[in-house]
Structure 1
Amino acid sequence: MDFLKARSTGLTLILTVALALGLSLAPVPDAFRPLPSLQRGPLHEKLVALVLPTSMSGGRATRPPGEVMTAGASAAQRPPEETEEVEQELDAGSLAAAPLPAVPTTPGIGLEELSAPTLARAKELEALRERMGAQHVDVELNCRKEGPDGDCLEDGLAPFTRALSELRTDARRAPVRVVHLGDSLVASDHITDLVRDRLQERFGAGGKGFLFITRPASAGRWTRSGRGTDGWEIERLVDSKWPRDRVGWTGVAFSTDKGPQSTRYDVEGSRVAELFFLAQPTSGSVQFSVDGKPLQRIQTRGFSKNKSEAAFARVTLPQGAKTLTLTTSGKVELHGMTLETGTPGVVYDTVGLLGGMAEVYLRAQPAAFRAQLRQRKPSLVVMMVGGNEAFFYSRDRITLETVREQIRELMSRVRANVPSAACLLMAPIDAGVRTMSGEVVARRGTQEIGDIYREEARAAGCAFWDAYAAMGGDGSAARWFAEGLMLDDLVHPRARGSDLLGHLFDMSVQRAFAKSRAPLLTVADPTGLQHADTALTRTFDKLQRRESGESLRVGITQLGGSHTASHYFTDAVRDVLSKRFGDAGRGFIAAGKASPRLEPSGVTRALEGEWRIEDALSSPHGGPWGLTGVRAVGGPGAKLRIQFCKDCPDAKQPSGRLDLYALDVPDTRAPDITVDSEAMPPEAPPPEPLTAPTVRIRSFPVTGPSHTVEVTAPKDGNVTVLGASLEYDTPGIVYDALGLPGATSFALKNMDAAAVDAQLASRRPDLLVFWYGTNEASRPDLDSAALRRDYTALLKRLRQATNAECLLLGPTDRLEQDAGGPWREAPSLVSVLNTLPQVAKDAGCAYWSPRAAMGGERSMLRWQRAQPALGHADGVHLTAEGYARLAGAFARELLTAYEAHRKAGPTSRVEDN
């Protein structure tokens, strides 16, 4: 009996305190809050420890069993309003290390235009969706404009999808802005951050958008605010004494009249900052400073002596600005700051108020609401409320009719103030409550409010998305909680659950956009690594043997144009593979001038004296060329130097060989060759006199990681050097990068076949990677039939010469423009995209589309506008960051296919190359 009594007393205490907390956090007047200070200050640590479970306390939470932290998700599992931001970046290695789950991705659900890294995360969320019983629910478009005959002339999302189409076709110079209003689910930015990232990836990034001056609550993430000093006075629409006649939909006033206050923003990539403030008759000023230097002072005094009104001040930030600091002087009230790039793209504003409801946003001063919303010029306004309405309805503290009236008024206000913008209303998500026995059941009223929202959205001409159904419907909160996707309050999703909701909403928006217009290109551009299960079996077998401990060399040789010649892509892929399978040496380096692109991998080149660099593109067809289509011809006494593994530590002393590729020319004396400053003895002349230039490969044994080869032309003759390679007698990967800027597969076909085949065979490749197609896409007169015929024949010839497997990479997205006009696809991009998969199939090669990995249609435009830029301004090449991003995607796809093969077991055992 004592035990039961103690238990009953404990339950009573817990329920009493929980009720006190719930009322204190709810949007009710302070007089009705048992703990009125909770919304404005930190909870006492002992009270937190007594009442809240670990996952809700101020300390870092413990993840439930099976919950995996992922990029983009916060490491802490506190309530959304109390979650500190933790960002985790994945490098190419970590991207490649984690294989993707085998998830069927049904065509048409909205995954088609995601770039490879985002698609990988989306597949993980798809696996989670299937396990949780969540659903892909389409946006109900409804009708915003009817014709005289009752036909719908324009659906509820039309202004938004039309603006996105303008971005896609490069017909729009202004950004496409979204204003997303909501409650604590939005305040955390855990749902909207994923949506923002994906929209900006598909259509270009227009900037961070609207940010608060500092955190509106005493704890929480800093992602959607500046980092302010502690003296700001904060008033919110959710407070009992809200800032009447001053604040619009931004919802929070940050003021100071007791000495200067400041806030700081990270503005890297931003060029335009706009301050939202209250213009008052006797107001002070705000000093803008960039990177510690004064930029501009903004006076916040109003023109009217009798009233205050919402006002705005726009400032241009200098190129390369990193931080922006605002410092007040005198009495000042600020409402927020917007940061934009000044270029076309998507800007996604998030304004979430803890305890937010339709009624709370209706508290906003109407003129300020209108002025602030019009200032943003949104193409879409999203309203995500209803959760708190459902809470109050479940306690019989609000009626369904009142809920209907409030949401109707909020949508009416939005449509009246920005009539040219689309609007979208969301149903509230499912939530749970605990019974006295501890059972988790669905909260009453959520579905009823969702039904009201659907009806009112249809009547108002706003689109509607049923988040309740997407989550899984009745009882889904209990299922999510059991899987660790909901917090203990049974109301707020954890970061991973929020990511899933964002994923589902993003997919629905993408499907709506796809249905609104025809694709710019009619082309099958498959994502993922195609035919790897049949075309790469021997390579995967050898990698598996290497990983299991056999002392094997695995050779990969990549041939191509400038994408390969840049070395950024191949360096990143080499790094990923070498970390897993071992490093057997840098491989082949073409002769040529000094290049900073080689230096990251520890390779330097130098030329002294008279040198002429020739390439196969600018010379008659035929003739012996180096593996990259380049040869360096030096005059009398000229000297060429190639150094491998510069500044490498000498802790390990591996043995290996350094090979020099050069031409032996009739009636020309041999050059002087030194390796590590030691003169190499001349080789015996060939048994038969030379009648034509012939490729000669000289091999020199070496010890240690770092080596230099130097070639000096005779004083009375010339020398032709093709390149050099360094390999170690250690197990691992050798990845050759053989690229010639501007090259096509036709250029490789036109080089002397015997010279190419012999040199390529000397590299002992297990896998040949061919990356052509981007330059072919620029040819308006491309003969796709000849491309298929000649490329297939070339692949078969080189495979026969090397006994290697092969993998084709398609083109990146390639765009062109005339004198500042709109971008358009390269003239033969469709032909190349349709032809190369057929070439791969004909030649028995695997196939991977870089364009699909970038995100498909117009992805180059989006990569150009990314921060930092991933696509080059020429519409053809990528930046170093872009090549690294693409390499990470390729390495991950390759290793995912390898993992699938490894689990299936080896299929062959062949002689090693």
Structure 2
Amino acid sequence: MLAWAPTLPKPSPRALQLAALGKKLGTRPPRLENPCVTPADGSCERTALAPFFESLNALATGTASAPTVIAAFGNSLIAGDRIVDILREELGATFGDAGRGVLLADRLASYGPRVRSGLAQGGWEPRTLGEMKLAELPFGISGVYHQAASKARSRFALEGEAQATLWWFDAPGSGPLYVHVDGQPLTTTLPLGTGEAHSQRFKLPAGARSLELVAEGGGAVVQGLVLQHSRPGIVLDTLGVPSADANLFLRAREDLFRAQLAERAPRLLLFILGGNEAKRLEWRRSELDEVETGLRTLVRRSRAAVPDAACLVVGPIDAVRGGTGPQRLVQRPFLDEVITLERKIALDEGCAFFDMFSAMGGSGAISRFAQAGLVHDDLVHPRGKGLDLLGQLLTDALLRAWVDAGPAPERPPEPPAEPPSEHSTESLP
């Protein structure tokens, strides 16, 4: 009897369309670097992505007992849940869908998609770690919090999720948050003004159709709502913040960042950064050693919270100077330096690396995307099928690396985590 080995899934119709589009735009076969982190007798016992690939193997063979979570940190490229949405959907179609993961109380601004937030009414003031002025209250892993004005509420349509977690901050003077399911009260926060963060977990009734967060008074602070199935499958947490770079993610309060990330227990840490670093280097608002220190610290802080997770650093996309002058389509200075630096940090820290710049076609790629109508007028942010194509390149590279790695060595199954008691509340550090 032949041993099981991973094989590439049949391409979806969308993947085939994007492959044809990529051929027209000059993309290259996407490959990522998956370095050996545990050499043995002239071979490799364990690669950087082994923990994640072991989870995929378990999902593929039906031996998994819990969801496989991906935590994706990034900038405006993913803040609207683009690029990573393709990764989530393609992996979910192959390995199963286990829920939406971390969601926000409202959008990050008065415009944009609501795919990763509730349908909000009333006044929620968003604050992000990407703002010029540092916010008064602490951030967790989402890099975002929403503070309620009077009678703020957010409604989330449920999709059969069995469990939820509310991340809230006990700010001085804040009022309670009420959780309603299908219009009926389920649980309530009990703020005391202690300045502590809380993780409040609760089970959702079978067949429930909607969950609503209600803040009757002002001041209540929501850092995120986690909606997830208990079944095996893929969950991808989109942790993208406009204007973010690695150093801005370090604005999150370290103990809170580590506690929330450990609670999510991702099997893959995904860092999609670099574009803002290159801009700030060009504008002389940063130095290369600051960029290196920031990304290296973020990677180390994340890995310290979840030491058993795999790690993948994704380099920035092609970028040009922009504007209206003759230099508008000239490659942005420092882009090559940032890509080289990110690759070095990834391999130094035992992470895999994906060169998105090369995969999308190298220098001149963003101009070809623009000529095809796949970039906004700012010549910085791809749109529509352009974002989908970047997501497919990342997905294809990850799946190819999974197949190339082959089946992981058999290990004794880990005991399933003890499910939390209903309506339990934990204070985060």
Q: Distance in 1 between matches of 2:371 and 2:132?
A: 36
| Equivalent pair of 2:39/2:46 in contact (CA under 8 Å) | yes
> How far has the Cα of 1:249 moved from its partner?
1.9
Question: Does 1:504 pair with 2:393?
Answer: yes
Q: Distance in 1 between matches of 2:152 and 2:203?
A: 22
Q: 1:481 to 1:395 in 2, by over 3 A?
A: same
The amino acid that maps onto 2:118 is G
1:245-283 deviation per Cα after TM superposition (whole angstroms, max 9, x unaligned) = 621221112113x42311011112222111111135665
Which residue number corresponds to residue 412 of structure 1? 300
Q: 1:151 to 1:139 in 2, by over 3 A?
A: same
Residue 189 of structure 2 aligns to a residue whose secondary structure is: strand
> How far has the Cα of 1:319 moved from its partner?
1.8
Which residue number corresponds to residue 88 of structure 1? none
Q: Distance in 2 between matches of 1:295 and 1:399?
A: 50
The amino acid that maps onto 1:241 is K
1:282-339 deviation per Cα after TM superposition (whole angstroms, max 9, x unaligned) = 653221112222222233447xx5xx23321112112222211111244421101111
Question: Does 1:279 pair with 2:198?
Answer: no
Which residue number corresponds to residue 113 of structure 1? 9
Q: Distance in 1 between matches of 2:295 and 2:392?
A: 25
Q: 1:155 to 1:383 in 2, by over 3 A?
A: same
Q: Distance in 1 between matches of 2:76 and 2:228?
A: 25
**For structure 1, which runs of at least 5 residues remain unmatched after alignment?**
1-109, 520-913
Q: Distance in 2 between matches of 1:437 and 1:282?
A: 54
| Equivalent pair of 1:247/1:310 in contact (CA under 8 Å) | no
Which residue number corresponds to residue 464 of structure 1? 353
Residue 396 of structure 1 aligns to a residue whose secondary structure is: coil
Q: 1:518 to 1:142 in 2, by over 3 A?
A: closer
The amino acid that maps onto 1:369 is F
> How far has the Cα of 1:376 moved from its partner?
0.4
Aligned match of 1:229 in 113, 121, 132? Answer: 121
Residue 162 of structure 1 aligns to a residue whose secondary structure is: helix
Q: Distance in 1 between matches of 2:14 and 2:132?
A: 42
| Equivalent pair of 1:246/1:309 in contact (CA under 8 Å) | no
The amino acid that maps onto 1:476 is A
1:607-633 deviation per Cα after TM superposition (whole angstroms, max 9, x unaligned) = xxxxxxxxxxxxxxxxxxxxxxxxxxx
Q: Distance in 2 between matches of 1:463 and 1:151?
A: 18
The amino acid that maps onto 1:122 is A
Q: Which structure's CA Rg is the greater one?
A: 1
Show the 5 A alignment for 1:155-166.
Answer: 155-166=47-58
The amino acid that maps onto 2:168 is F
Show the 5 A alignment for 1:139-538.
Answer: 139-145=32-38, 152-243=44-135, 246-256=138-148, 258-280=149-171, 283-301=174-192, 305=194, 308-330=195-217, 331-434=219-322, 436-437=325-326, 440-518=329-407
1:521-546 deviation per Cα after TM superposition (whole angstroms, max 9, x unaligned) = xxxxxxxxxxxxxxxxxxxxxxxxxx
Q: Distance in 2 between matches of 1:230 and 1:241?
A: 24
Q: Distance in 1 between matches of 2:51 and 2:77?
A: 26
Q: Distance in 1 between matches of 2:301 and 2:144?
A: 19
Q: Distance in 2 between matches of 1:301 and 1:517?
A: 52
> How far has the Cα of 1:394 moved from its partner?
2.0
| Equivalent pair of 2:163/2:201 in contact (CA under 8 Å) | yes
1:856-898 deviation per Cα after TM superposition (whole angstroms, max 9, x unaligned) = xxxxxxxxxxxxxxxxxxxxxxxxxxxxxxxxxxxxxxxxxxx
Q: 1:410 to 1:150 in 2, by over 3 A?
A: farther
1:689-731 deviation per Cα after TM superposition (whole angstroms, max 9, x unaligned) = xxxxxxxxxxxxxxxxxxxxxxxxxxxxxxxxxxxxxxxxxxx
The amino acid that maps onto 2:285 is R
The amino acid that maps onto 1:326 is L
Identity of aligned residues (%): 37
Which residue number corresponds to residue 124 of structure 1? 17
> How far has the Cα of 1:153 moved from its partner?
3.6
| Equivalent pair of 2:69/2:264 in contact (CA under 8 Å) | yes
Q: Distance in 2 between matches of 1:281 and 1:182?
A: 30
Residue 241 of structure 1 aligns to a residue whose secondary structure is: coil
Show the 5 A alignment for 1:560-571.
Answer: none
Q: Distance in 2 between matches of 1:416 and 1:192?
A: 24
Q: Distance in 2 between matches of 1:207 and 1:146?
A: 36
Q: TM-score, normalised to structure 1's length?
A: 0.42
Which residue number corresponds to residue 525 of structure 1? none
1:812-857 deviation per Cα after TM superposition (whole angstroms, max 9, x unaligned) = xxxxxxxxxxxxxxxxxxxxxxxxxxxxxxxxxxxxxxxxxxxxxx
1:718-752 deviation per Cα after TM superposition (whole angstroms, max 9, x unaligned) = xxxxxxxxxxxxxxxxxxxxxxxxxxxxxxxxxxx
Q: Distance in 2 between matches of 1:253 and 1:170?
A: 37
> How far has the Cα of 1:150 moved from its partner?
8.8
Q: Distance in 2 between matches of 1:430 and 1:155?
A: 28
Q: Distance in 2 between matches of 1:454 and 1:235?
A: 31
| Equivalent pair of 1:232/1:254 in contact (CA under 8 Å) | yes
Q: 1:396 to 1:111 in 2, by over 3 A?
A: farther
Q: 1:439 to 1:403 in 2, by over 3 A?
A: closer
Q: Distance in 2 between matches of 1:244 and 1:474?
A: 41
Q: Distance in 2 between matches of 1:317 and 1:119?
A: 33
* Structure with the larger RCO, 1 or 2 (CA within 8 Å, 6+ apart): 2
The amino acid that maps onto 2:306 is V
| Equivalent pair of 1:213/1:336 in contact (CA under 8 Å) | yes
| Equivalent pair of 1:227/1:263 in contact (CA under 8 Å) | yes
1:155-178 deviation per Cα after TM superposition (whole angstroms, max 9, x unaligned) = 111111111111122222110000
1:100-154 deviation per Cα after TM superposition (whole angstroms, max 9, x unaligned) = xxxxxxxxxx99413xxx622211111111111101221211244456x796542
Q: Distance in 2 between matches of 1:288 and 1:346?
A: 26
Q: Distance in 1 between matches of 2:55 and 2:223?
A: 28
Backbone CA RMSD of aligned residues: 2.1
The amino acid that maps onto 2:152 is Q
1:615-672 deviation per Cα after TM superposition (whole angstroms, max 9, x unaligned) = xxxxxxxxxxxxxxxxxxxxxxxxxxxxxxxxxxxxxxxxxxxxxxxxxxxxxxxxxx
The amino acid that maps onto 2:378 is D
Residue 58 of structure 2 aligns to a residue whose secondary structure is: helix
1:549-578 deviation per Cα after TM superposition (whole angstroms, max 9, x unaligned) = xxxxxxxxxxxxxxxxxxxxxxxxxxxxxx
The amino acid that maps onto 2:293 is E
Residue 233 of structure 1 aligns to a residue whose secondary structure is: strand
Residue-pair matches, total: 401
Q: 1:329 to 1:403 in 2, by over 3 A?
A: same
Q: Distance in 1 between matches of 2:294 and 2:85?
A: 27
Q: Distance in 2 between matches of 1:471 and 1:377?
A: 31
**For structure 2, which runs of at least 5 residues remain unmatched after alignment?**
1-5, 409-429
Residue 321 of structure 2 aligns to a residue whose secondary structure is: strand
1:422-477 deviation per Cα after TM superposition (whole angstroms, max 9, x unaligned) = 11111000012246237522212212201100011000001111111111111111
| Equivalent pair of 2:8/2:400 in contact (CA under 8 Å) | no
